Amino acid sequence: MTRHLPADRTPTERGHDGQLRAGDLVRVTRRASVQFHRSIMFRVIRELDWTTYDGWVWLDGYQLDIQGHAVTRRSIFVQRAGLTLVRAAPRQTAARSTPNPTRAVRRQPAALPTHW
């Protein structure tokens, strides 16, 4: 499911402050900026906090090829409303509060004999 990101998007839509997050995958088209006459897939590293025009945003990330591999790292200046969220980054889960019982125990090396 894809959806466009309106400029006045509320934080509750994504469950955070409304910015794109690291790992979000977006389709960038001509609606986002005229420089994208051919759409690209873009994996977000971060949304830069540079001062811009209302509704515009600087994104740092990777342009992806047809197979989803990163080909070029770029910073792009786009209209938020022109971006289509293809897949949101997975949510981080809380760290385990109890130690993993299967973790290997570190052992001291055996002492070597002092004489043969």
CA distance 61 to 73: 6
pLDDT of residue 98: 61
Residue 107 lies in a domain: no
Residue 111 lies in a domain: no
pLDDT of residue 107: 65
CA distance 62 to 24: 11
Higher-confidence position of 67 and 109? 67
The torsion of the CA quartet 58, 59, 64, 70, rounded to 10 degrees, works out to 120
Mean pLDDT of the chain: 79
Predicted confidence (pLDDT) per residue in 68-93, tens digit: 999 999 999 999 999 999 988 776 66
Residue 82 lies in a domain: yes
Predicted confidence (pLDDT) per residue in 8-17, tens digit: 443 334 444 5
* Residue 63 · residue 8 · CB < 8 Å: no
How many structural domains compose the chain?
Answer: 1
Percent of the chain with pLDDT over 70: 62
C-alpha distances out from residue 20 to 17, 24, 94, 107, Å:
9, 7, 21, 45
Instruction: Give the strand order in the sheet containing 40-48.
Output: 3-4, 83-87, 25-28, 40-48, 56-64, 70-79
Residue 109 lies in a domain: no
SS3 category, 80: helix
Per the structure, the complete domain to which residue 69 belongs is given by 3-87
Predicted confidence (pLDDT) per residue in 27-44, tens digit: 999 999 999 999 999 999
Residue 47 lies in a domain: yes
Residue 42 lies in a domain: yes
Residue 104 lies in a domain: no
Mean pLDDT within 95-111: 62
Residue 112 lies in a domain: no
